[in-house]
Structure 1
Amino acid sequence: MSAATSGVRATARILARPDGRGGTALPVLAGEGPLALRRTRGSADEARVMVIGAMSGPLGGDHLTIEAGVEDGARLHVGSAAATLALPGQAKGEARYDVRLTVADGGELRWLPEQLISAYDSDLHVRTRADLGPAARLVLREEQVLGRAGEEPGRLTSRLSVRIAGRTVLDQELSCGPGAPGGWDGPAGLGGRRAVGQLVVVRPEFAEHPVSARVVGEGAAVLPLAGPAALVTAVASDALRLRRLLDEALDSIG
């Protein structure tokens, strides 16, 4: 980790593999800087990890990275203890938050962090990449809240890409806040709403029985992807309503 005037550089790493007794071991669980990792109580075959913010951030100029790998036969659930708050910092320039996920055949990852809040005057680029084997399983949730209560948002650019067996099934980018392309908050964009989320579900059985496209609740849509995967996109007025929409959509997928 470094903390020069250009901001903090920190990387947290997680590796999950079968423990030989029907459970999941974590031979690598290494936090750094503001990214602290804690193993919590899981189920018989699933390991659970919480990401705990040990410092404020990401701030302007920071570059934070989380890497998580799941081997064949392992099951991993990753959450966070609280929302991530993007803030302006003393260092000039944008902040970056990279998430790199790898799931082997026979592995399963549930990536379910709390919301990312874009505070006024912040500038954050988030890049999430998931690389899966053809028989891997994934539930990945992203939630972004634009501004705190009564506050204008900062600039937030979020890119999400998913590859299965080396084939890209999803690669999308959303940019919101000051300086974002025109129309992001208009009727063709968020329509004045301040919370937006995505949910990606990958299951091998979707190859034979793909998810049908449909609307869920008010503001959420389920779409099949070109692979054994489905995408849920939702917009809402606040974080609580957004979570309810995403949970309802996940339940509808079954």
Structure 2
Amino acid sequence: MGGAGLRATARVEARADGRGGTALPVLDGEGPLALRRTRTRSGGPAARVTLVGAMSGPLGGDHLTVEATAHEGARLHIDSAAATLALPGQGGEAARYDVRISVAEGAELRWLPEQLISVRDSDLRLSTRVELAAGARLVLREEQVLGRAGEAPGRLSSRLTVCRAGSPLLDQELAFGPGAPGGWDGPAVLAGHRAVGQLVVVRPEYERSGPVAAPLGKWAVLTPLAGPAVLVTAVAPDALRVRRTLDAALRDLA
């Protein structure tokens, strides 16, 4: 990639405030990545942060980064105000979107953004990496939509890596759209569908007794991971059915 695109980083850090709540000593956004502290839906000790897209993007050639840290005992919930659109740039370059999450002992982080939409002729490399302490809790949802209504998708490459206490729980790569490895749209992968989602839930109590592998209705499957964690993968014709499926799974799991 060349150097013509936008570079921007958003950073949030959460710390236990000593009064049963969570403080946000760092809440800093740049360019299209604006962060706002918002009211939690259910109250309680968690701090909620909403990622607000201040500009369109990422465009081809851009490199956007979100860094989120929950220190010991903190509870941090992050969502977004709207879907993210991966858009083509003038030079045909790929864009990068990196998410880096760190959760300390006794802390909880929920990463629940809106969908990522891969627009025709775009090229986005998405990378999400999570580092968890042994006693950390995580709820992470990612959803990808291949093209807007009636539109062919762009190129989308996604890597999701989750490590706990230095050991890998999950390292998954997906690639869709023009130029992706053959078969991405075939019966073994998307089977012609245009929306896909992943939900990762890590809870220390799963070491004693966790969910077992099972299909979840028509569109999803639950898979236990090699540790106190589960992965729910959903593939459906549209984003609404993926969201409903993952929401139902999340109600049961967390």
TM-score bracket, shorter-length normalisation: over 0.9
After TM superposition, the structure 1 = structure 2 runs for residues 66-145 of structure 1, keeping only pairs within 5 Å, are: 66-145=66-145
Amino acid at match of 1:34: P
* Residue 57 of structure 1: aligned partner: 57
* Residue 202 of structure 2: aligned partner: 202
Contact map agreement 1:60 1:93 (CA 8 A) in 2? yes
Normalising by structure 1, we get a TM-score of 0.97
* Residue 12 of structure 2: aligned partner: 14
Amino acid at match of 2:105: D
Look up the SS of the partner of 1:13 in the other structure.
strand
Per mean C-alpha deviation after superposition, the further-off stretch among 91-100 and 165-174 is: 91-100
Amino acid at match of 2:185: D
Q: Structure 1 stretches (4+) deviating beyond 3 angstroms? A: none
Normalising by structure 2, we get a TM-score of 0.97
The offset of 1:250, in angstroms, is 1.9
Contact map agreement 1:64 1:97 (CA 8 A) in 2? yes
The offset of 1:31, in angstroms, is 0.3
Amino acid at match of 1:137: R
* Total equivalences in the alignment: 251
Q: Does 1:235 align with 2:235?
A: yes
Contact map agreement 1:144 1:196 (CA 8 A) in 2? yes
The offset of 1:252, in angstroms, is 3.1
Look up the SS of the partner of 1:243 in the other structure.
helix
Q: Does 1:163 align with 2:156?
A: no
Give a deviation string over 1:169-204, Cα, whole Å, max 9, x none: 100000000000000000011000000000000000
The offset of 1:41, in angstroms, is 1.0
Structure 2 gaps of 5+ residues are none
Separation in 1, partners of 2:37, 2:122? 31
Contact map agreement 1:220 1:249 (CA 8 A) in 2? no
Identity %: 69
Separation in 2, partners of 1:5, 1:198? 32
The offset of 1:20, in angstroms, is 1.3
Q: Does 1:173 align with 2:180?
A: no
Look up the SS of the partner of 1:27 in the other structure.
strand
Amino acid at match of 1:26: L
Separation in 1, partners of 2:207, 2:240? 32
Give a deviation string over 1:98-125, Cα, whole Å, max 9, x none: 0000000100001000000000000000
Separation in 2, partners of 1:219, 1:241? 8
Amino acid at match of 1:96: R
Structure 1 gaps of 5+ residues are none
The offset of 1:5, in angstroms, is 6.1
* Residue 33 of structure 1: aligned partner: 31
* Residue 23 of structure 1: aligned partner: 21
